[in-house]
Amino acid sequence: MNAVELRRHASVYLKGLGKIIESMRNEEELGKSMSRIAQAHIKWNVQRNHVIVSMGKTEIRQRATNSYALKS
């Protein structure tokens, strides 16, 4: 993934996350948002193991960031 693709992915990811957060108080809207996100993942053939690997890397980065912040 090059820088342009990464930037585009980050933008889409944050937009989806924002939509989920905005709709958390409305169960029907939240369901619609989650369904749209699920359909996009199916369209791009994102599989469970892709998400697990990605989340693992995110957790490792977050731990490193938190550890650095605590030392400062």
State the pTM of this model.
Answer: 0.62
Rounded Cα–Cα distance for residues 67 and 70 (Å): 5
Confirm if 30 and 24 have CB atoms less than 8 A apart. Answer: yes
Say what percent of the chain tops pLDDT 90. 50
Rounded Cα–Cα distance for residues 23 and 1 (Å): 30
DSSP 8-class letter at 39: H
Q: Other CB atoms closer than 10 Å to residue 30's CB: what's the count? A: 16
Q: What is the pLDDT of residue 61?
A: 66
Rounded Cα–Cα distance for residues 29 and 22 (Å): 9
pLDDT lower than 70: segments of the chain: 61, 67-72
Kind and range of the H or E element at 2?
A: none
